[in-house]
Structure formats: structure tokens, C-alpha cells
Structure 1
Amino acid sequence: MKNFLHHFREKEKVSGTEEIYESQCPFCSVQCTMKLVEERIVTRKRVSVNGTPNVTSEGRLCVKGMHAHQHHFNPKRIQTPMQRKGDAFVSITWDEAFALMKDRFESIQETDGKDAIGVYGGGSLTNEEAYLLGKFARVTLGTRFIDYNGRFCMSAAASGANDAFGMDRGFTNKLSEIPYSKCIILAGTNIAECQPTLMPYLEEAKQNGSFLIAIDPRETATTDLSDLHIKIKPGMDASFVNALLKVIINEKLVDSEFIINRTKGYEELCHHLDDSDLEQLSDVVDVPVETITEVARTFATSPTGMLLTARGVEQLAYGYDTVRNYLNLLLVTGKIGRIGCGYGAVTGQGNGQGGREHGQKADQLPGYRSIENLEDRRYVANVWGIDEGELPGKGVSAYEMMEKMDRGDLKSLFVMGSNPVVSNPNINFVEKALKSLEFLVVVDMFESETGQLADLILPSSSYLEDEGTMTNFEGRVALRKAARVRPEGVRHDWEILCQLSSVLGKGAYFQYSNPQDIFNELRLASKGGIADYSGITYDRLQAERVYWPCTEDDPDGEKRLFSESFPTKDGRASIGIVRNHVPSESVSAQYPLYLTTGRVLEHYLTGVQTRNSPGLRSRVVEPFVQIHPETAKRFGLQPHEMACLTSERGEIQLRCHVTDRIREDTLFVPFHWGGKQCINRLTSQELDPRCKMPSFKVCSVDIQPSYEKSESHVT
């Protein structure tokens, strides 16, 4: 029988019934590589997936990567442009779609000005498409209103690192250095479920004697690996770090030489902490003084140490301050710029790093240049062949764009690679704002929740069809080749932007034949910027992943940052003063519990791709609320029954998952679902004043059995 199957398989190969594709996972920031084998046996098709070697994940794949191809093959994929006619969508041609956009965009801008149209991007676009989207907004439309969903992912870490170090790159070191770190703090990051193929680095560190400290209100597969788990009260990390700094400074555990030679602001920090009381801080953060002292001493006295943060400490209305304080911890102990010493903001989206470097943020131009810096504006304008005065100014953040829609300032929105009706906070308001638009265009593979509100949906290509570069968590740029030809009725994102620019009279600025042409312009536009890609070429990327910054004079790229100096005017890192924060929404009699949100292993972002992958959807079919047994008992809830959650902004109903792996005062809900069970119907729209990050990770809620739900909390 075995010989027969072998003979049959060989016969299939000869007859051309087996095709092999090399590709790269479209999901998280690790960017694992893979080989897909598509076999056709009579009338049945079977796809098998295996990881392939690469320097980042070393050939590993997680369950999402193993099933990523399923959404590509899903027959629900949109194959032609779809225009809304009443309550339904009808198929139209691309010529009709471009004619419609030309008519509506020109009419709106003629009546209400160039800034009446907004552009909304995503952190899963390739570098080329993220770059082109920013150019499209500013050159073709001439609008200042562009932002992207990475605002809800990396803005706190990015702004914190830029202000502390002078540069934001996801990880300041090579991943291969993690096993050399003798103490690792994992603050608000659940790597085991969000970037699982990185876990072997932590496991190897443990085997080498590293002490792992996890800070999370919940027990997770990541905290299970730790030597010490701090089950902190939600939203209290900034104050917790102040307590750590108080111990380290009082006990003279700082790295004085590093502080004197390579930082500024230390004396001000000491003065700020003089009046801090450790007992009071302990009470506020709900962590014993003994545990605070243990963490402080362990990290400070370790010969090497690393800090990894993620959305758990960043998605707060003071996420910037929280990140800055964690970076203070690195700086006062001198744990940066050496082997086994560094910082990593564990990026969530596939191109969350590259997506924020090349111009789709409200205040940025390519190369991490500032749109408010005259020299930067002149340089990029020259690359684009326009006058500096033609470049619009700084726009507003993603959620603030929703507020402008609601006020009538924005009349139209062009969405590419994002699903804002699920990813934004305060979704009831966001839906209302989007419905108020005169013209909404959504570019996507599927009819997402945002697409359902659109006037026009444009079908885009999948990761197996769309060639381009991605920048992973490590700061390495990788080339994702197109493994398959896109369907005839589908367009690549870059093709859509080029053709739309052409019909709007700006085609001369978008003369590209392929993604490599775009990348070569990106290289020039980024040259001399913080995120300098000028030394990276497609030819090089055929063989290797390359770190940025990478220039023609230094083509190897910088693998470990800050070894000798920081990219600031004086070469020094900045230690910042961070006050003690408490959530603005405190628990009360009406809303007695904290709500925090996050991910599950099987799903990705707003679920548009993973909920259209049967192998992933079947593993976790619906959202749920994680609740402690004592809390469930207190509120009259039973395992697996439906509960009604309410906040000041709305209510939803979810099934209870009762577990003792969460604090009694806290509920957890994953955010991958839309519709009536979208958890962001409850989350707060409060924004960080520095980086405009919403407070996804903490708000106050009530929970009751669904049959006892009350309308009184709904506004």
C-alpha cells in the first residue's frame, strides 16, 4: 500500500497536479516563512503547509500560519468591485468603480475642500503600499487627514522610544541575544499566543538560567513560563515602575557610570521620587512591597537584562508614560546597547514596524521623517517632484478622524487594509460617524464589518499574490514574493492607488510597473531619515533579511542599536519623569469591575482573515468573557451561560469562561469579533494626550446574567 501511494504521488507530480508555493505568513510581526503544497486528487484539492528556515523563527510556524492559506482560497473572497445599491451590493467593472470615485471625490473636494476626504490605512500593508498610501493622500488627494490602525497598536511604544532613545525600532537587539539575557521582564505581553514562534528564545533563556518576570492581570501560557508572575491591577504599570525605581535608587543599585556618560534627566527623576511612599504605591498597584523589592533587586543586579512590552501596558490613555517609565528602568540600570541588554516593543501586526515608518501616520513622512519639519518636507517633496508648499500639514489620529466625521468636517473616507468599525474604541459612536459620510470606499478581500457600511468595496489581492517588503519585530526587512497570480477581477493595493491617481489627474507621480519600482523610490525617500532603507535592495532581499538603518555606506544594517551612543542631538538617552497614574474610569457601584481586552492564539486583529479560515474559526467560534469563579458566584453567573456586559458606552452579550487564572476584579474579552458581540462597543474613547492611543486595556463595566440585563446603562 505504501509503495502504491508513493507511486501515485510521483505520478501526480509528473502530470502537473501538484504545485509548490514559497511564501510568508501574513499575520504577526515575526513574519515566518512557509512552503505550501497544493495537490489535486481527482476533484479534491488538498493544501499542506510546512515552515521553512529563516533567521527569525528558524522554520517554526504557529496554528495561524498553518491555516493562513484558507482565507486566500475562501469562495467568499470579493472578486469584482461592489457598489451599494440600496441595501445590497452589486458587481460593477473596474472602469465603473474608478469613474464613480473620480466623480464623488472631485465633487466633495470642490464643495468642501481637499481636507474633506480622509485616508485610513493598515499595519498589514507592505512597505511599498504603506509608502504609496501616504503619497496618494498627500499628492493625489492633497489631504492632511491620513492615519492608520497602527495608532491602536504601536503609538505608545513608538513615541516613548523616540523620546527616550531618539529612535523607534521594534527590538533594539537581535532575537538571538535573548538567550544571553539573565533577567527578562515581560510587561503586558502574551507572546505564547500572539507571537508563539518566538517562545523558543525565551525557553532557551530559561535553560541558560535566565529569571523571567511576567506582569499581567491574567495567567497565560506566557506567564506559565515565568519564574515570577505579577498579577497587577489593570492600568497600574506606570505606578508599579515608579515603585521599582524608588527601590533601585534608594538601594543604590543604579549603573552610575552609564547614567553619567550616556543619559540625562536622572537627577530630576530622583527629585521626583523623593516624596514617593513605597507602601502607598504597593497599595495602589496591589502588589506587595516584598514582591516589588524582589523585582527591583533582581533586575538591577542581573549582569544582563531585557524588557519586552506589548499592548497590555501600551493601550492606555497614559500608555506613552507607561512605556517611558519602563524605559527609565532600562536606563538607570544601564541595560541597553549591550549583548543580552535591550528593549523590544513586541509588534502586533505583520508590518506594524514598517507600516509606521514610511508615511501613513498623521504626522510622518517616509523614513520616519516629520511632516512638520521644514527640511524633511523639502527633501520628500523633492523626491516626489512637487513644491514643499503643496504638501499638506499634520492631520489627526485615527479615532479623532471619526470625531471629525461625526462633526461633518470629513465627508468621505478611503479605507485600505483595515476594519475600523471593529478596531476603534466606542464602536457605537464609530458606526454612527461612518454612516454619516457621503462616500465610503473600502479596499479589502472580504465584506468586512466596515465594508458592510461602504458605498464601494474594491477587491484586493491576498498575501500569496501580493509581492512586497515587510519589516518584522526585529527590525529586519524581508521580501515576500508573490507565489500565485491574482484573480483577474482583483487588484493589488498599489495598482489601485496608481490607477486611482491616474483618473484623478495625478498619474504622472505614480509611474510604477511593479513593487520594486516603488521600493526604489522608498529607498530614496527614506535616505538620511531615522528609518533609512537606502542600502537595501530587492537583490539583497532575495537572499537575506536586512536590518535597518541600512545605508549604502553601511550596507550591513545596524543589528544592535545604541552600543556607543543614541541618535539624539547630544548622543544621550533621556530619562523622563512619569507621575503615578490611575485609570480615569474607576470601579463603582454601577460599574464594579475592570474590563481588559486582548487576543487569542487562533485569531488575528479584527478577524477578517482568520474568521474566514475554517480551520481557525472552528477552534474559537465566538468571543467570550473570562471571569474568576468567585466573581461569577458573586454576580450569579454559571460557566458557559450568556452574560450581559455594560459600560457607559453600550452593552453586549457574551458566554462566560469561568477560570481562576484572572484577577477577581477583572474581566477579559478578546477583540477579534464584530457585530453585536464586538467588545469595543464598551471600551473607552479616552486618548493618550501624547500619542492618541485609546484606553483599550482598562475601563469599568458591570456584568449580569443575560436575562437580568438592564437598559439603564446604555447611552
Structure 2
Amino acid sequence: MMMDAVNTEQAKSRLYVKETQCPYCSVQCKMSVEELAAPVAGQKVAEYTVQGVPNKASQGRLCVKGMNAHQQVFSSERLMYPLIRRQGELEPCSWDEAIQTIADRLQQLQTTYGSDAVGVYGGGSLTNETAYLLGKFTRVALGSKYIDYNGRFCMSAAASAGSKVFGMDRGLTFPLSDIPKATCIILAGTNVAECQPTLLPYFNEAKENGTFIIVIDPRKTATAAIADLHLQVKPGKDALLADAMLKVIMAAGLADSSFIQKRTTGYEQLVQEMESLNLEQAAKACGVELDLIRQAALAYGEAHTGMIMTARGVEQQTDGHMAVRHFLNLVLATGKIGRTGCGYGAITGQGNGQGGREHGQKADQLPGYRSIENEEDRAYVASVWGIDPALLPGKGVSAYEMMERIHEQEIRALLVMGSNPVVSNPNVRLVEEGLRKLDFLVVADMFLSETARLADLVLPVTAYMENEGTLTNLEGRVLLREQGRPAPGETLDDWDILCRIAEKLGKGSLFQYGKAEDIFNELRIASRGGVADYYGITYERLRNEQGVYWPCRSVDEQGEGMLFHERFAHVDGKATFTPGASQGWDDVSEAFPLILTNGRILAHYLTGVQTRRSPALAARELENYVELHPSTAARHRIRDGEWVEVQSAYGSFTVRSRIKASIREDTLFVPMHWGGIQNVNRATRPDLDPFCRMPGFKTAAVKIQPLRLV
């Protein structure tokens, strides 16, 4: 039963969605969706108008994705009831059968292979309530250590770097409204003009105020177009570039000695180790003229106020954790944090990429950013959940490592919620082979995604307009998204599905919630006293105040928009420098002479499951492509618009060519939003960052060739 089968019934009354929030990026823009007219004969869906609603983050702005987000909700491809696989085919079944089947199969497998035979794979677009409950469900209802989520591929490098350097992780250490107050801004590995378009006006306002903007990116993106200086760095050399800039700042006497002495540790060792860095050699390795590096370093070092923001370009590397830390050395060395117009920001990607990594759906984490390996943290959370701490499993493994455990058949069953791992993981051939080996695969989704097509059971879930819950945007502001329309067909909220399964597993007494707010109130208590403390945040406050920053330790606090004004989150109150110069990745060879990198484009989001089902968005980019420089195209005899094959040591994919002079000659860029033969992750490498377990999405050695008969 797909969406068009229920539209007629729902259209009997005029529908207004007064206010909701965009389901896409981390800005979390507010919007209203209004039905203009009910469907007429022969017309499957009504017509709608969408308008931005002012809130403190987006100021009422919407991008093209937000303007068309409602199209996924009313798509004819929406799943309306559970599907179960019989004789190799998916066919409809009741919720009773679906939930009972899940409980029976999981219990059978755990009886045979142990509790850890079942894994759970979550997502950074789930609400805080669902993300929290997913962690509790895995550890309490299933008793398994195996849970991680797709945010491992998004924010893990910046999150782990912030925790090491500052003592805590929050996307932005400053409110968005501070951006126009900076006199110099470095945007490293981020294309906000396409990935978070409603942020661009903040930077345009900064430009009007005279802010000097530096963009670090291998491509001349729409964001680079607004820059005063563009450093077109070679992929994999971001950390080395940051080191070179720091050495220029040190040599120019621009380090803030007072800030360093009072508020940091480790600077002396860093100075000693930086002595061996040769600027000319570093510039050559980065592929950036030394004069441009000097200009960038002096502009930032001399500025009275300044910000550095990174995103996936810097972070999705096998040294992404260290790359971020080396940019943070620049922040600390110049004392540009904890005051107006200053700070560091990791520009979160997914809609709840911030909240989704705070409350327990990571392999090593408990709610409130607590550690599952800390005995006090375990005891506290266990007391909130009403269980013996000894029953809490230990630390699991990262998202891709879960796929390896599946391939090795250590994990025999998997529940996927809010994610599409067949498209989003590196080395997707191994991933797909592993998922096909599973004894039991359950996927909860709005659509038959590439992963759902492999499932034994597919569970239909509500869309963003149809459920209630909180999300935390990139600046750490917790926002309430209220339900705007009834759930269609037999769709259920994700958290409701978890509670029903827990009931059948005999754990129902620990999952007694009547609504999302009940879960949030438990989350508040579970996070109390943790780094990500939500205790002072309530639904009532969120309705009245348009969001509240965390940490917020009591209902009398306003929350902290600006972090680290007086002290950092380490016990001694100081931030930590990161010693050691980095050389970065460089594995190109005669066989694979080019560097493959990937990323987002304006019209699509994540693996494209939602945006490819929006007619307006799909029409903008119907198929995937590879962007390459004219010289590279000429060298490989490739014509614009023809089919080409890109191959690495791990696999290959086929897309059309798009020849552009805006990319480095040694680099290929491919969007990440398509599956199948056009999936760029068929060629990405599965090597992992040793600190945060981030795969090396942004750097793979490849070759390219045209696909034609003559």
C-alpha cells in the first residue's frame, strides 16, 4: 500500500500544517505547509504552498530542499504498512505479525549465538527521543553491545577532536548570530552555499561588515565564490596546510602568549616540533602557493576577532581527527575563542547530527555524552533505567566495523533505523554481501531504500510532519518539532516501534511511554550532570523560547550559546594543544594516478532516499556525475557528458562526465547521493581513522576511462 492509496481519504478535510521544521540539514529551518485545494478526480495529491517561518537560526529562510521537502511526505512511493519477505518477495503483513516475527527471530538468534548476535544501526536524522531510546533499546531490551549510527561518517572526527582539545564536543562554540561579528573567517572543507544554504546570508552580512573570508577547498565552489582568498588544497593535506599557517603565525609573533599561558597546555612541545616543518616543502605538498598560505595565516593571525569552521572536507579522512586538531591549534595559538566574534565551529551535516551523537546511539556512549566504559556513568544511567549496572553491555564497534562483523557472521541480525548503509558505507560491495548473509534484517524507513530492498521485514515510519520530537541544531540549540498532520496509513513513529518490540521481548515495563515528551523527560534525567546536560530543557520552554542551548542544567538557566568564555571543559579548565606536524594522505600511484573525493550538492541530501523522490529536486539532478578538470579530461580522452568508469583498488562505478575548470587537475569530485552502479562508495576506501573510526571518504586513489566503443 503506497501513499496514493490513502490520499483521497485524507483529503476530505482541508489540511493545514501550521508549523514544522525542515527534515534536512543541521540549521533546522522552520516552515509552514498549507494545503491549497483537495485533489480532484484524476489528481493523486493536493497542491501546497510552503513558506519559511522565522526562528532564531534560519530567520525565516528556506533553501530549495526545504521548499520541496513536503514532496517526500506525499510521494506515491511512501510505505503505508509493514512488508514481510515470503518466498523471496516482500508482501504486506499486519503490525502484529511484524512485531511478533521480529521478537521471535531475535530471541532465537540470541539463544543460539548470544546477545551480541543482534546489532542496531541508527541515524543522525532521528529525533533526540528516538536516538536516546535506540541506545536504551539495544542495551536493555536486547542486551547487545552492537549499536552505532551513520553519524560516524559525519561528525565523529570533529566530535572526538573537540573532546580531546576542549574537553567537550558541540558543533559551534558560538551562536550563529556571531558570524557577522568576526573580522576573519576560515571555512575549511565546507560548502555552505550548497550544504546549508540558509547560513549563507550570515556570511554575506559578514562580507558587508568587511570580514575577510578564506575558503579551503579543492574545488572553486559557490562558497569559494564569496571568499577573499581561496586555498585550493590537495585532498588529504588539510592538516599540513594548518601546520604551515601556524608556523607563519608563530614566526610573525602573532601568537597570543597571555591566552596560551593562562588557558592552554602543551604549547612548548608544539613549538619544538614545528621547528622541523619546512614551509616551502609543505606548500608544495599541499599544492598551494606559499604566498597564499602566508596571506591566509597573516589575515587570521592579525584579525582582532576570527572564526574557523570545518566540515566533512577536512573530517572525512583517515587523519580527520588530527586534521581538526591542527586547525584548533590555530584557534588556541591566537586566543580566538570564548569571546564575541570568535570560536571554532564544526558544521554539522544531518538534521539532528548534533543531538544524535549525544544520547547513546554511539558504540561507546551513554546519554548526556557519558562514557559506557566509565563505572560512575554506567551506574548513574542504569539507575535511571531501573536495571543493574552489571547488565549494561560494554563498548561496541563503529558503523563500518559493524559491517565487517556482519560479513564475518558475528552479528547475525540487524535493525536499521533512519539510515541506508548499502549506499553510505565505504566499500559497499562488502557491505551488501554482508547484509545478504544476515539471518534476519529489519529496516524501518519511509521508502524502499536500497537497504530496505534487502530486508526480511520493512517497517513504515512517519515523516517529519507527522511526528513530534526534539532536534538539536548545529549551534547546540534544542528545538521542538511538533506534529502537523496525522500519521497516514499504518505508519508508526520510530520510538513506538521500539516500544512494541521491547514489549514482545519481555521488557515492556521499562519502555512505558505514551508520547515523545515522556521519553524526553526521561532523557533529561539521564543526561543530568553529563557534558550534554538537557535537564533544564522542557517542551514548555521549547514552545515558548524557540529553542534552548545546551548545556542547560536547570529550568532557571538560559543555556550557553557562547562556550568557553572563562574555562574549558577539562578538569583543569584548560584547552590542550596538539603536537606533531602532519604529512597527510598521499597514496596515488602510476596505476591509480588521480584523487577521488566526494560530497553533497544543492538538490540532494545524504543517500538521496528522500530527495530523489521529490520531483522538483530530482529534476535538478537526475543522475550522478564526475567532475574533472579539462586538462584531465583531455589527457584521458574524455568528452563532456559521456559515460565513464572510475576505478580504485576496491571497486568501480559508472557515471557521466562533467568537465569543469573549477577543480584541481589531480582531483575528481563525485556526489554521494546515488546508489547502484552510480554509487561513489563502490570505490571509496574502508581504512579508518585510528582515533574516531571515520572512513577515508575524501581521499581514494583512482583511475578514469571513457566507456565507448570507439
- The answer to whether structure 1 residue 33 and structure 2 residue 35 are counterparts is no
Q: CA deviation at 1:676?
A: 1.2
The 1-side partners of 2:290 and 2:649 are apart by: 34
Counterpart-to-counterpart distance in 2, 1:650 and 1:633: 24
What does 1:217-236 align with in structure 2 at a 5 Å threshold? 217-236=218-237
Superposition pairs of residues 93-104 of structure 1, within 5 angstroms:
93-104=94-105
Aligned to 2:395: 394
Q: Secondary structure at the match of 2:429?
A: helix
- Kept in 2: contact 1:218–1:661 (CA 8 A): yes
- Relative to structure 1, the CA distance from residue 145 to residue 656 in structure 2 (aligned partners, 3 Å threshold; closer, same or farther) is same
1:299-338 equivalent positions in 2, closer than 5 A: 299-338=300-339
Contact preservation (8 Å) 1:583, 1:699: no
Report the 3-state secondary structure (helix = DSSP H, G, I; strand = E; otherwise coil) of the residue aligned with 2:563.
coil
| 1:555 maps to 2:557 | yes
1:110-146 C-alpha deviation (Å, 9 max, x unpaired): 0000001100000000000000000000000000000
One-letter amino acid matched to 2:570 = T
Assess, with a 3 A threshold, how the Cα gap between structure 1 residues 16 and 708 changes in structure 2: closer, same or farther.
Answer: closer
Paired letter, 1:270: V
Any idea what SS the aligned residue of 2:441 has?
strand
Contact 1:21 1:484 in 2 (8 A): no
After superposition, the C-alpha distances for 1:280-331 in whole angstroms (9 at most, x for unaligned) are 1111111122111111111011000001100000000000000000011100
Matches of 1:332 and 1:147, distance apart in 2: 35
Shift of 1:46: 0.7
Whether the aligned pair in 2 keeps the contact of 1:238 and 1:578 (CA below 8 Å) is no
The equivalent of 2:282 in structure 1 is 281
In structure 2, the partner of 1:168 is 169
SS in 1 for 2:708: helix
Q: What residue number does 2:620 align with?
A: 619
Name the structure 1 match of 2:3: none
| Contact 1:465–1:484 under 8 Å retained in 2 | yes
Per the normalisation by structure 1, the TM-score is 0.96
2:128 partner amino acid = N
Q: Return the alpha-carbon distance in structure 1 between the equivalents of residues 39 and 634 of structure 2.
A: 56
Partner of 1:213: 214
1:102/1:634 Cα in 2 relative to 1: closer, same or farther (>3 Å)?
A: same
Out of 570, 573, 576, the residue aligned to residue 575 of structure 2 is 573
Higher mean alpha-carbon deviation, 348-357 vs 538-547, is at 538-547
The residue that corresponds to 2:241 in the other structure is 240
The secondary structure found in structure 1 opposite 2:354 is helix
Instruction: Tell me the secondary structure at the aligned position of residue 562 of structure 1.
Output: coil
Q: Which letter does structure 1 place at the counterpart of 2:25?
A: C
- The CA distance in 2 between the partners of 1:358 and 1:102, in whole Å, is 25
Aligned match of 2:415: 414
Following superposition, the deviation at residue 87 of structure 1 comes to 3.2
CA 1:673–1:319: 2 relative to 1, 3 Å: same
* SS of structure 2 residue aligned to 1:352: coil
Task: Return the alpha-carbon distance in structure 2 between the equivalents of residues 553 and 636 of structure 1.
Answer: 65
Pairwise CA distance, 1:588 = 1.5
Aligned to 2:701: 700
1:22-171 equivalences in 2 (<5 Å)? 22-40=19-37, 43=40, 44=43, 45-171=46-172
Residues 535-557 of structure 1 deviation map (CA, whole Å, 9 limit, x = unaligned): 00000111221000001165200
C-alpha spacing 1:475/1:658, structure 2 compared with 1 (3 Å): same
**Secondary structure of the residue that 1:212 maps to in structure 2?**
strand
* TM-score relative to the length of structure 2: 0.97
| Other structure's SS at 1:560 match | coil
Equivalences, count: 694
Amino acid in the other structure paired with 2:96: D
In structure 2, the residue matched to 1:546 is: 548
Matched, 1:582 2:584: yes
Q: Would you identify which runs of 4 or more consecutive aligned residues in structure 1 move more than 2 Å?
A: 15-21
Q: Find the residue that maps to 2:48 and give its secondary structure.
A: strand
Alignment of 1:311-460 (within 5 A): 311-460=312-461
Q: Paired residue for 2:9?
A: none
8 Å CA contact 1:321–1:578 kept in 2: the answer is no
Post-superposition shift, 1:589? 1.6
What is the distance in 2 between the residues matched to 1:487 and 1:419? 22
Q: Structure 1 CA distance, aligned partners of 2:468 and 2:39?
A: 31
Offset of residue 42 of structure 1:
6.0
Counterpart in the other structure of 2:486: 485
Displacement of 1:80: 0.9
In the superposition, relative to structure 1, how do residues 669 and 137 fare at CA in structure 2: closer, same or farther (>3 Å)?
Answer: same
- Tell me if the contact between 2:121 and 2:399 (Cα under 8 Å) persists in the aligned partners: yes
**Range that drifts further, 550-559 or 106-115:** 550-559
For the residues of structure 1 that align with 2:640 and 2:698, how far apart are their CA atoms?
24
CA deviations 1:506-564 (Å, max 9, x no partner) are 00000000000000000000000000000000001112210000011652001100000
Mark the CA change 1:243 to 1:48 in structure 2 (over 3 Å): closer, same or farther: same
Residue equivalent to 1:256: 257
Matched, 1:525 2:526: yes
- Mapped to 1, the partners of 2:138 and 2:556 lie a distance apart of 32
| Conservation of the 8 A alpha-carbon contact between 1:213 and 1:226 | yes
CA contact (8 A) 1:324 1:578 kept: no
Q: Give 1:671's aligned residue.
A: 672
C-alpha distance in structure 2 between counterparts of 1:460 and 1:17, whole Å? 23
In structure 2, relative to structure 1, the CA distance for the partners of 1:574 and 1:25 (3 Å cut) is same
Separation of aligned partners in 2, 1:229 and 1:177: 23
Indicate the residue corresponding to 1:268 in structure 2: 269
Aligned amino acid, residue 552 of structure 2: C
Shift of 1:252: 1.6
Q: Percent identity?
A: 56
Shift of 1:241: 0.9
| Cα distance in 2 between the residues matched to 1:31 and 1:669 | 26
Answer whether contact 2:117 2:144 (CA < 8 A) is retained: yes
Retained in 2: the 8 A contact 1:445–1:461?
A: yes
Instruction: After TM superposition, give the deviation of residue 636 of structure 1 in Å.
Output: 0.4
Q: Is the 8 A contact 2:368 2:530 kept in 1?
A: yes
Q: Which amino acid aligns with 1:546?
A: V
- The amino acid across from 1:483 in the alignment is G
Deviation at 1:19, TM superposition (A): 2.8
Contact preservation (8 Å) 2:18, 2:484 = yes
CA distance in 1, matches of 2:184, 2:430: 44
| Alpha-carbon shift at residue 407 of structure 1 (Å) | 1.1
RMSD: 1.2
The answer as to whether partners of 2:155 and 2:353 remain within 8 angstroms in 1 is yes
Task: Please give the secondary structure, in 2, of the residue aligned with 1:359.
Answer: coil
Note closer, same or farther for the CA distance 1:390–1:610 as it changes in structure 2 (3 Å cut).
same
Q: Distance in 2 between matches of 1:20 and 1:678?
A: 35
Instruction: Tell me if structure 1 keeps the 8 A contact 2:17–2:485.
Output: no
CA distance in 2, matches of 1:698, 1:165: 28
1:16 Cα shift?
A: 5.8
Structure 2: segments with no counterpart, 5+ residues: 1-11
1:187 & 1:159 partners in 2: Cα distance?
18
Structure 2 counterpart of 1:495: 496
Question: Is 1:466 paired with 2:463?
Answer: no
**Any idea what SS the aligned residue of 2:259 has?**
helix
Find the aligned partners of 1:317 and 1:248 in 2 and give their Cα distance: 27
* Matching residue of 1:713: none
Letter in 1 for 2:520: F
**Which digits, 9 at most, give the CA deviation of each residue in 1:80-126, with x for residues without a partner?**
11111233211000010011111110000000000011000000000
Q: Tell me the distance in 1 between the aligned counterparts of 2:633 and 2:642.
A: 11
Change (3 A) 1:605 1:578: farther
Structure-1 separation of matches of 2:607 and 2:291: 40
Residue 377 to residue 298, structure 1, CA distance change in 2 (3 Å): same
* Structure 1 residues 510 and 278, CA gap change in structure 2 (3 angstroms): same
Cα contact 2:277–2:581 (8 A) shared by 1 = no
